Structure 1
Amino acid sequence: MEATGMVAYPSIDLVRKIVKRVNDRGLDGIAITEHDDKEYGFRVKKIVDKSLDSQILIIPGREITVKEMGWAEMVELFLPNGSTFRFLPHPSYPYPGDDGFEYDMNLLQGIEIGNALHDRQINKKRVKEISKKYNLILLKNSDAHTLDEIGSFHNEISLEELYLFTKYSLG
């Protein structure tokens, strides 16, 4: 979810709304991935864990621009075991027609095949080929920028499965 980046520090009211929306969608958790801000997701997690009795799993993350990937965006998810799961979000966006697969795919463990905001731009056939070639997990993410968008696309995957894909797992 990227809907929270308007403010540097999330309020408990905003976090309650996020938790309610996640629960209403029948999900166990959510990744909070602000652009470039690694700490924001950790702030949300702290509120959920301390003030809301850890009602849902919060995976802090960030979406960053990576020079080594041709200035493409990459999402990093900071998992509870200390490992980092990295994936290529919305391949082919924001450059329609540019599949953007000249990256160092060894940096990644996953690739989006579905994205609620950018789904039309994704070349799904090409993504499947790349996923198979580099053993990347296929992901469908809501890329939520509003509370209503939370869970519009989602993944059913366990933390243990994510740990198996991380290259630098501590667990």
Structure 2
Amino acid sequence: MPRRAVELLTRLGRTVAVAESLTGGALTDDLVTVPGASRCLRGGVVAYATDLKHELLGVDAGLLSRVGPVHPDVARAMAEGVRTRLAADYGLATTGVAGPDPQGGRPPGTFHVAVAGPLGVEVRSAAPAETEVPGRHEVRAAARAACLGLLLEALGRENRERNR
């Protein structure tokens, strides 16, 4: 998926920036691994601490206080914030609970990813089944895949709009 994302971004002449909490830089690394990523990747911000989501990405402090750092609206704000602050066409964001302990009442395996782009913002969320106890690696990998999938969908929509 990273290769396809870089190819589409480059073909469309678009740029991307990444805001990561849950994935700790791994999503940006997925993109950087692809030859030619420098044509489209503006940069990434790892805002693991809640206060950095506000300070670096502009996530509303009141929102963070009300819902905590693991929430769909926080993912949305992170994506919009990194898109604006790094002057990119697309902003990606990941936030969630890798485990092993719950965070803010949310169980390990819960995550929210977002993509902000020219056609709007999309958020995708996941939560584990009650009997499921996913490992950190699996949660982080699932979040990266979900975010890249969401980006590919957004790029596909933009491509179809351009070809109308």
TM-score for the superposition, normalised by structure 1: 0.32
Greater fraction of residues in helix:
2
